[in-house]
Structure 1
Amino acid sequence: MNSRRDILITSFALFSLFFGAGNLLLPPLLGYNAGNDWLWVILGFMITAVIIPIFGIIAHARLQGTMYDFGKKVSPSFSLVYCIIVYVISIAIPSPRTAAATHEIAIYPVFGTSKLLTSAVYFSLVLVFVLNRSKILNFIGKFLTPLIVIILLLVISIGLFSSEMITNTTQFDSPFVSGILEGYQTFDAIGAVVVGAVIIISLNFKTETSFEAKKDLIKKSGFIAGFGLFIIYAGLIAVGAFYGSEINVDSTLSNDMQRATLLRNISIASLGTMGNTVLSILISLACFTTAVGIIAGTADYFKGLLNDSKTVYIITSVIACVFGVVVGQLDFHAIIVIAIPVLLFIYPITIVLILLNVLPERFASPLAFRATVIITFIFSVPDVLNFISPSVSLNEIIQIIPLAENNLGWVLPTLITFVCVVLIETKKDNIMI
């Protein structure tokens, strides 16, 4: 039986490993641009930034293995390649992005230091935590996350009560779809398959408990962390929408500067002169815990891949941190631009793998895995190519595919494929009976 204390600590750790740079910076500007349609944006954002990631944690609770187990029903080779791609993406984009965000919003405005110094100090501290990974769960769950949550709730509650609650007209043609696509940018679905494994291994370090006890602990913690994410995201989007008439964000600025400017102005408007300090602490903590989770998860995977070697864990951690310092020299916006085509390719596949792994076994056969992943991949290609190099011929293809204009062309074909496979296999089972 899991104690309430264990569930709470694991919930806090999960929340903190999820909640990083993009999670804090994206929602306020999303709400600001959504204006009077902010509720629709929240609903869309929650699908890709909360519901699917928590399904990912539930899938981990069922599997209790590594990310490799998510895709092995497609084929061992596919799962190996998929895992390597996801972990390389994780240390190449979201991890350095946390350092870039920390520097641009929390460190540079206060100390005026170089990006290199910030990244070097930042990833040195990350490395210390990762190399002491058996203590990660307790330290993050007991100390860092409660502080992050308290500061976030302070900014949101004071911000909501101190604003005039007047919204502007929405800037989105389809607020619901815009919310879904912006949720991609949080990396939370990918984060789920990465940090879920970190939680499981941390629990194994901590104590020897039964499979069912760990399953119960992870599921309950996942639901609590998901509820926390929902409250924070909805609050940040609402604050961004309600400050739309009071704070003017220069539309000529890059998106990352718009996000940073809006969040800083909201913090100052709600917390006064303390706003900048509070924001700096919040950004630093939120980004730091996410980077720790990403690098620990990556090192865990390669350690398991190469005979459970502790040396491999250390080498992978060091390489990931050095890589973080190098890529961290780019600004936040540049990293997001690099991330978009990668996300349009890997995110749909990740979503499909998560959903299949939470379905009952009778619906998630190897054939269902293979067919849906192949179709998802095929119908994601036009989105990626169109982003990289738009063309008339590609545009004609996109117009034929339902939802493709919204970068969701894979959804309907994948759903139809899944239903067809289930019907075929059900009919086959009935004939055999």
Structure 2
Amino acid sequence: MMERLTKKECLWVSLMVFSLFFGAGNLIFPPFLGQTAGTQLWPALGGFIVSAVGLPILGVVAVAKSGGLQSLAKRVHPVFALVFTLLVYLSIGPLLGIPRNGGLAFEMGVSPYLPSAWPESGMALFMYSLVYFSVAFWLCLSPAKLSDRLGKFLTPLLLLLLGVIFVCSLVNPLGSFGPPVGGYVTGPFFKGFLEGYMTMDTIAALNFGMVIVMALKQKGVKGEKALITYTIYAGIFAGVLLAGIYVLLGYLGASGSSLAAGASNGADTLTQVVLYLFGTPGIVLLGLVFTLACLSTSVGLITSCSQYFSSLTPRISYKGWVAILSSVSMLFANLGLDGILAVSVPILSAVYPMAITLIMLALIDRWIHGRRMVYVGAMVCAGVVSVVDACVKADFFSGRLAGWLSLLPLYEEGLGWTAPALVGAAIGLALAVMVESRAVKRTRINPS
């Protein structure tokens, strides 16, 4: 029998979901969107929220309903499930997601206060990453307490700090919105949608779904229906909170566009805004915000990856994998952000379209009746296009192949895989119906 959660417990779980998603990348993109969208801020933010909030929450629900990422991916094929799941956990975990958060926390929270020669030596980054991942290791040791540690401490403190920055921007206005630039001039909603797409939170959602389910089980929630219901409740609440924070950050970027005229990314934009509001001490505040956001996301990623790998290798316990992943992530973090991104971004570019396709298929599974051919058709077409596109962008291929890809609808907008995925799903559905129809006819002819 299901144990009903109190409103307070629901709140803590929802705050945990928010903290899992809200990492450094989520702090960087909205301010820069605001700065470049200018007077087109609101339609641009609308598109951003659809892809940066809607898709990840749908991903959490899809994974919860399917009993985990590997169970969902098995609808395509068991071999695909193993390879794809490994690729997702490695790319969003120790190969990119976790080290990137540790590196960004250092860049924004520590590096600005060090003598200029220290960051270049590498020793400062090593010492910081050692402390950072030691704290992350400790927080991950008891996943049952994750919702309490993140929901009751880290997340409220993060929200408080962001609230202080926002209120001060209202008391001491930053300025007026500037004119939009680039894609925001003609298509602000679609451009904003693509910016949210690039946050990579949808891949993270494939990891976090089971973390949320485990947290709910530890609180006594039982039964698939109850787990899915509470996951949806927590996802919606966290989504509303995420959307509110994105509006806040987007407004800061747009109103402070004149202060950050030379900024090349959202971190620069936020730095200039905080300097204007608080002076040099404000950089300490901003560094603390980045550190908390990075730490909470790192904890969620280490936890979800450790749960998955411990299920694959029973000889190594969950705590053993926490130690391994924390150590590996610390080593990768010391490669520096540029090195990490250069190696890992092509992998994410290939995986992300397949992740979105798999989530969409899971959400319409009741209408396609779990037909494997539909999953195979959509995933093969989306996967081939996304992998080839990633290779082209990484300069593995060039010339004629790149020209062919450019013929795909929405390719220039980064969504060239969508039409092939739809065509593949339609072909798979047609083949499945034909096979089923022939099977029915044979049964009628030979009823025995």
Report if TM-score (shorter chain) is over 0.5. Answer: yes
Aligned to 1:329: 334
* Pair 1:39-2:25 in alignment: no
* Pair 1:288-2:295 in alignment: yes
> Does the residue aligned with 1:247 lie in a helix, a strand or coil?
coil
Contact residue 133 and residue 296 of structure 1 kept, 8 A: yes
Q: 2:233 aligns with which of 205, 216, 220?
A: 220
Q: Matches of residues 88-103 of structure 1 in structure 2 within 5 Å?
A: 88-89=90-91, 90-103=93-106
Contact residue 36 and residue 254 of structure 2 kept, 8 A: yes
Alpha-carbon offset, residue 330 of structure 1: 3.2
Aligned to 2:411: 404
> Separation in 2 of the partners of 1:153 and 1:353?
36
Alpha-carbon offset, residue 175 of structure 1: 4.1
**TM-score normalised over the length of structure 1:** 0.90
* Superposed CA offset, 1:137-182 (max 9, x none): 1111112111112222332343356222221331337544443333
Alpha-carbon offset, residue 208 of structure 1: 5.3
Contact residue 178 and residue 257 of structure 2 kept, 8 A: yes
Identity %: 29
The more displaced of 92-101 and 29-38 is: 29-38
* Superposed CA offset, 1:284-336 (max 9, x none): 111001101101111100111234x5x43223222211111111123334433
Q: Matches of residues 333-412 of structure 1 in structure 2 within 5 Å?
A: 333-363=338-368, 364-389=370-395, 391-412=398-419
> Separation in 2 of the partners of 1:423 and 1:41?
38
> Separation in 1 of the partners of 2:42 and 2:435?
44
**TM-score normalised over the length of structure 2:** 0.87
Q: Matches of residues 5-404 of structure 1 in structure 2 within 5 Å?
A: 5-63=8-66, 65-89=67-91, 90-110=93-113, 114-159=124-169, 162-172=173-183, 175-207=188-220, 209-250=222-263, 255=264, 258-272=265-279, 274-307=281-314, 311-363=316-368, 364-389=370-395, 391-404=398-411
Pick closer, same or farther for the CA change 1:186–1:27 going to 2, 3 Å: same
Q: Which runs of 5+ in 1 are unaligned?
A: none
Contact residue 302 and residue 316 of structure 1 kept, 8 A: yes
> Separation in 1 of the partners of 2:333 and 2:372?
40
Pick closer, same or farther for the CA change 1:397–1:215 going to 2, 3 Å: same
Alpha-carbon offset, residue 423 of structure 1: 5.7
Alpha-carbon offset, residue 235 of structure 1: 2.2
Contact residue 349 and residue 377 of structure 1 kept, 8 A: yes
> Does the residue aligned with 1:405 lie in a helix, a strand or coil?
coil
The more displaced of 218-227 and 241-250 is: 241-250
Pick closer, same or farther for the CA change 1:394–1:420 going to 2, 3 Å: closer
Alpha-carbon offset, residue 238 of structure 1: 2.6
Contact residue 184 and residue 343 of structure 1 kept, 8 A: no
> Separation in 2 of the partners of 1:314 and 1:303?
9
> Separation in 1 of the partners of 2:278 and 2:64?
40
> Separation in 2 of the partners of 1:264 and 1:316?
36
Alpha-carbon offset, residue 399 of structure 1: 2.5
Q: Which AA in structure 2 matches 1:151?
A: L
Q: Which AA in structure 2 matches 1:270?
A: L
Q: Which AA in structure 2 matches 1:189?
A: T
> Separation in 2 of the partners of 1:414 and 1:261?
37
* Superposed CA offset, 1:318-359 (max 9, x none): 221111111112333443343431221000001111111122
> Separation in 1 of the partners of 2:50 and 2:221?
34
> Does the residue aligned with 2:183 lie in a helix, a strand or coil?
coil
Pick closer, same or farther for the CA change 1:226–1:430 going to 2, 3 Å: farther
Q: CA RMSD of the aligned region, Å?
A: 2.4
Alpha-carbon offset, residue 369 of structure 1: 1.1
> Does the residue aligned with 1:406 lie in a helix, a strand or coil?
coil
Pick closer, same or farther for the CA change 1:244–1:386 going to 2, 3 Å: same
> Separation in 2 of the partners of 1:243 and 1:396?
40
> Separation in 1 of the partners of 2:351 and 2:130?
29
> Does the residue aligned with 2:16 lie in a helix, a strand or coil?
helix
> Separation in 2 of the partners of 1:355 and 1:284?
33
> Separation in 2 of the partners of 1:200 and 1:415?
31
For the pair shown, the structure with the greater C-alpha radius of gyration is: 2
Contact residue 22 and residue 185 of structure 1 kept, 8 A: no
Pick closer, same or farther for the CA change 1:383–1:238 going to 2, 3 Å: farther
Q: Which runs of 5+ in 2 are unaligned?
A: 119-123, 442-448
